[in-house]
Structure 1
């Protein structure tokens, strides 16, 4: 198995640490401490923090440092609603325009998702899931839509990763993927749009579980229980 690049390894570890509540909203991240923690040089830490800033998970303030973004659940819900519309549109256009090679790629990523779901591997499922959606975006034939969907996807990646930890979510997500892929393969644009939109909106509908997971993250830093 190919070795994971240092910056990617640090990024994934930091992303998990924020999602798990180890680093709290508003907390400052010390690059020197991170270098020691991950046993690496300054460069991969800097690259990882820059990537997390682009995703919206951290904010780099000039001359002040890097801080975990303070999250608003309502703002997160609004972003998911917009993402649902973008994904629905991309799936609708893909159903009309997708080429055979992309259909093969879609089937391949769906198979990967199934393997990782069966193994209960949420991390590998997360990446296969991202590749599945990338095929849909890339095959929609609308470059502007693809760019906008990818930009919002980067912002929501940590939270879409989090929702895979909701009990039974991977299995249900796989079923939703299969529904999207079947509609695209059949050229049913309306069904593809509905399935893709619902696939994202279900994450909003299940916000009660996501909020429960995030509850300890939205409390003030330094709170004494």
Structure 2
């Protein structure tokens, strides 16, 4: 299993650096446990004992319970009365359905963004994409994944439809363990940036159809990359 980093018994996460989203301790735990599940270190059927996990990570059971709840929403954990939490894994059919929905939501966001994005938002998106290019060339997977969330959030915001942004963000969050797993595959970082380039170019041109199609293809590749990743375990 992945060793937990030294941390005090406090449940609170340290302040996030300027310009970076604040991450709660429950979110950190969710990411760590999800990584272990998608890497096969916690196989299906493994019991997730809240007390044992709290002791392992040096926290109370509250953030552990929240992390398990989030993992259950992603389909990585099955919670049943009197049985506790058990590692599960959604079927390939279920994952395909989830990625299909995310592809359409993200494509709609990108298309609307192409026609509604404001000049300041355009500039911010360009700068963010350029920053991710630098991270890609440095091979900084961790930072690239973090900025990738900001990239998609910027497109959601540029669509100027709060309800759509809520649906797209929620679906991305549920699929985040599977998206995270595939980004470390050989060559995937460069390909991801190339896919983003096509999305950004279409948005900046005001090409609604092109932006939507480029985003749809991007999410389809992410799904295919995750399937290839699971077959390599």
- TM-score strictly above 0.5: yes
Quote the offset at 1:36 in angstroms.
2.0
Which 5+ residue runs of structure 1 have no aligned equivalent?
217-225
Q: CA, structure 1 residues 207+160, in 2 after alignment: closer, same or farther (shift >3 Å)?
A: closer
Helix, strand or coil: the match of 1:212?
helix
Could you say which residue in structure 1 is the equivalent of 2:31?
12
Q: Does 1:115 align with 2:129?
A: no
Q: Does 1:196 align with 2:215?
A: yes
Could you say which residue in structure 1 is the equivalent of 2:204?
185
Q: Which structure ranks higher in relative contact order (CA pairs < 8 Å, sequence separation ≥ 6)?
A: 1
Structure 2 CA distance for aligned equivalents of residues 103 and 124 of structure 1: 22
Could you say which residue in structure 1 is the equivalent of 2:65?
46
Match among 123, 134, 141 for residue 104 of structure 1: 123
Could you say which residue in structure 2 is the equivalent of 1:127?
146
Match among 90, 94, 98 for residue 109 of structure 2: 90
Match among 55, 69, 72 for residue 74 of structure 2: 55
Structure 1 contact 54–154 (Cα < 8 Å) conserved: no
Give me the TM-score of the superposition, normalised by structure 1.
0.85
Structure 1 CA distance for aligned equivalents of residues 120 and 208 of structure 2: 19
Give me the TM-score of the superposition, normalised by structure 2.
0.82
Could you say which residue in structure 2 is the equivalent of 1:26?
45
Quote the offset at 1:174 in angstroms.
0.6
Could you say which residue in structure 2 is the equivalent of 1:150?
169
Quote the offset at 1:2 in angstroms.
4.4
Quote the offset at 1:207 in angstroms.
5.5
Structure 2 contact 178–226 (Cα < 8 Å) conserved: no
Quote the offset at 1:208 in angstroms.
5.1
* Per-residue Cα deviation, 1:23-51 (whole angstroms, up to 9, x for no partner): 12232201111122212222222232233
Q: CA, structure 1 residues 48+207, in 2 after alignment: closer, same or farther (shift >3 Å)?
A: closer
Helix, strand or coil: the match of 1:114?
helix
Structure 2 CA distance for aligned equivalents of residues 141 and 2 of structure 1: 29
Structure 1 CA distance for aligned equivalents of residues 71 and 94 of structure 2: 18
Q: Does 1:171 align with 2:190?
A: yes
Quote the offset at 1:5 in angstroms.
4.3
Deviates more, 1:173-182 or 1:8-17: 8-17
